[in-house]
Every structure is written in structure tokens, then in C-alpha cells.
Amino acid sequence: MNGVMMQYFEWYLPNDGNLWKKLKKDAPHLKEIGISAVWIPPCYKGQNTEDVGYAAYDLYDLGEFNQKGSVRTKYGTKEELIEAIETLHAYEIQVYADMVINHKAGADSTETFSVVKVNPDNREEVISEPFDIEGWTHFEFPGREDKYSAYKWFHQHFTAVDFDQKTGETGIFKILGEAKDFSENVTENEKGNFDYLMHADVDFNNPDVIEEVKLWALWFVQELNLDGLRIDALKHIDLKFINNLTQYLQESTKRDLFYVGEYWTGDIQALNEVLKDSYQDITLFDVPLHFKFHEASKEGPDYDLTQIFNETIVQSDAMRVMTFVDNHDSQLGQSLESWVADWFKPLAYAMILLRQKGYPCVFYADYYGSQGEEPNKPQQEIIDILLKARVKYAYGEEKLYLDNPNCIAIQRMGDQEHHNSGLVCVLSNSEAGNKEVIFEHEKPGTSFYDLTGHEEIEICLDENFKANFTCLASSISVWVKK
């Protein structure tokens, strides 16, 4: 099966509590277009209902308790979430939930404790003597009243915070205590040690924290009957703990759960190191490929398409990669903004959906459009065509034609299991292009047409099983057998 995941949210969704209801209603459509899995946003209570979910407050509150101003989360209630998941499963669509465990936000009260201030650009450099601050680190979840877990969080469960309530000062305040330090198992050396990201940073050197997060993760997977997890901020979390957690979940659930980690860097060597050192079933998003799509969309005809797969995970480890074009972090207005220009989106989606290698992800904002201050137009029509091509035709051996800086092609040979399968996708970032392609297992005279409708002609194989397949300027054509 040619699986495809959809990231079913974007940063600028309205705070109306309707996403779970929309997802449930959308399930038959997702099945029809070829989506086999859905990545849902953080589905637990954030610091308020405006929060997208990455300022996580109570991981046990899935929209069930009156906390932080509402019962529902930004996306709906726990009951609506469970109904959506059950409906997706009825349509044989898997569900992967976003797991935000690096930090906590929206504490219930402050505590006074000792810290040192560290250099934000080099967290190994202490820039103050020890002193006391009043930090937001006490989480007791009064609205939940100990249902599911009686665990309470205090300052000793965190490595650092970024705000002193007593003085109003901001910075990175490293919490002092016996054997307390940033994790040595954070693989990213950026900023000296990139353990700290935001809010109250969870201390994965603390045995109590390790046990509690493992118990919560097992409860989370079983409570929602999840098929996998998207691991947020993997770059900032103790990798030894992540390996411990994923193995614990596999052993406890006796299920082959799917894990995909968000490690935001374009450094392929760093990503290969993470894959080497992480649990064998963890996949990574191909951030380097995303950056190449972004760069190509900005440079236009000046970009050399023959280099677009170089130094990417899909090239170096095709079995452990999730390919994507854009996501909520790369959207316009975000701190990691690297939006792929609309004209290049069809080319980028063709390069992830029609290849044999990689597990592709379709982004909600590309399919349905976004609602931010700079909304993007949906690309639903062309994505539907490419999904159809993936479901019906993108089978068999893959051959890449990377011999022209402005025009490349992807060929799939087809197989006996899928009737009439096989295709040629020609892509150009400049003038109209063409590629001479051989289909040795087809009969001379076999006719092909462009599934996209961009080219209105038919192309036939000659007596040598060859044909010259074309595409229009700055466009794609997907040629399939008539």
C-alpha cells in the first residue's frame, strides 16, 4: 500500500472547538483520496484555548475538565476526539497524536528557588552568581482532582525557566539542585546545549519525571487507541529517554506503534547521527528536503533541480524518513518560517507523492488553505490528482532522470499487482521541458495521457519502447497509460 499521512491542522485554525467534529465528518473523504494516516495536533489542555497545543499544561486533560478557562481544548472535547478517532479507524485510517513532553506551560502557582542565569547563545556559560527567583513551576491541576494521576510538578522536576515573577525579568534561569544539569544526551550542540527551548523545561534526568512521563504516554496511547506518536522538539529532549520511552511503549502495548520525530535542522550529518543513535522504529521528518523545496521555490530557474535530493534523509535512509513540503512551523509569520512558494508546491508534492522512497505527508494548509494574516490558497485540485496517481499508478521500480538543471523526471515501472500501473512525471522550474523515457515491459504503441490535464496530447511508445514525455513551463505533467 502506498501510505500517505495528512497533518490535519495548521497554525492559524480558529479557536472554535470544531476541529474534531470536522475531522470525523471528513474521514470518508480522506479515505477516498488515499490518506492512510492522520497526524492530529496536541490534543490536551494548553495554557489557554487560543494555544495551538505546544504550550502544554495538563497532558491528562484531553478536553474533559474545566481548566484554563474551558472544558474543551482549542479543537474540541475529549468525547468529540474519541468519536473522530473511532470514525477514522472505521475507515482504516491510522491516527498519530502529537506528543509535547519537552516543557510545560501555564503553571498554577509560583515557587521560590535558586538559579543561575546562563548565556542564551551558550547555555554552558553561567553569567551570574546563584540567586533566588519566583518561577512558575507548580502544577497541581485542581480541575482534574487527581483523576488518572495524582502526580504534581514542582521546580525540582524542571531544568530551567524563562521568567522571574518577582522582578519581571526574562532570560534562561537554570535551576540549581543536587545532580541537576541540562541533559548530556541532547544531540544538538547548537547554543552550547540546546536542552532548554521554552517555558518550564522538563528534567529527564529526574527518575520521578521519567516514570511519570512513561506512565502518561502509555495511558495516552491506550486511552485514545492511537497508532503512533509525532515527537515534538526531539532536538531538545534527552535521546536516551526517548529510546527508553519508545521501547517501553512497544513492550507494554505489544503493538507496532509508529513514531516520527521533529528534529528541525538542515544538517544531514546531525540527522543521520540521530537515526543511528535512536530506537530502530523512529522515523524523522526530512527537514533538509523541505529547505531545498523552499530554496528552489525562491530561486526559480536558477535552482539546479538535479541537486534537489542530495544531502537529504530520503536519499540516505529511505526506510526511516517522512517527507513533507510545509508544516505549521514553516508557515508565514512563524519563527521557523520557510514557506514553499505556491507556484512550486505542485512540483514539491509530485517529488514526495510519486517516489517509491519515503513516507509522504500532506499539510492541511496546502490542501484546505490557511486562515492567517497572509492566507495561502489551497492546492487541493493538484494534490488530489497526485494522490490519485499515487494510489493507482505509482508502483514498481523507480528511476530518476536528474540530467537537466531545469527539467527532471520520476518514472515508476508499474507492477503486475496493480492493473495499468506505472507513470512518468516530468517537472520543470523554467521553460517547457521533456524527457526521453523507456518502458521495456510495455508494448510499442502503448498510449499515455497527462493525468493533470496540463498537456492535452497523447504520447505513444515507439518500436524501441521509447517516448518523449513533456511538461509545460514551471509545471508538472503526470503521464499514465490510457
Output the domain CATH number for residue 240. Answer: 3.20.20.80
Q: DSSP readout, 11-44? A: TT--SSS-HHHHHHHHHHHHHHHT--EEEEPP-S
- Cα separation, 334 vs 465, in Å, equals 49
Biggest CA-to-CA distance, the chain: 83
**119 and 92 assigned to the same domain:** no
**73 and 217 assigned to the same domain:** yes
**422 and 476 assigned to the same domain:** yes
| pLDDT confidence of residue 372 | 80
CATH number of the domain at 428, please: 2.60.40.1180
**387 and 403 assigned to the same domain:** no
**10 and 35 assigned to the same domain:** yes
**331 and 230 assigned to the same domain:** yes
| Domain's final residue, options 202, 236, 260 | 202
**Residue 262 known to be catalytic:** yes
| Domain's final residue, options 339, 358, 392 | 392
**348 and 228 assigned to the same domain:** yes
| Total number of domains constituting the chain | 3
List of E strands, 275-314: 282-285
| pLDDT confidence of residue 284 | 97
**85 and 149 assigned to the same domain:** no
Of the residues 10, 238, 262, 286, only one is catalytic, namely 262
**254 and 378 assigned to the same domain:** yes
- Cα separation, 345 vs 437, in Å, equals 24
**339 and 231 assigned to the same domain:** yes
| Domain's final residue, options 392, 426, 450 | 392
| pLDDT confidence of residue 279 | 78
**Residue 232 known to be catalytic:** yes
Of the residues 26, 61, 232, 455, only one is catalytic, namely 232
pLDDT means over runs of 10, the chain (482 residues):
94 97 98 98 96 97 97 98 98 98 98 97 94 98 97 97 97 93 80 92 96 98 98 94 95 95 95 89 96 98 98 94 97 94 98 97 97 86 98 97 98 94 98 95 94 96 96 98 94
CATH number of the domain at 130, please: 2.40.30.140
| pLDDT confidence of residue 392 | 97
- Residue 440 sits in which domain range? 398-481
**91 and 108 assigned to the same domain:** no
- Residue 339, classed as helix, strand or coil, is coil
Query: Residue 417 is placed in which grid cell?
Result: 499487482
**50 and 126 assigned to the same domain:** no
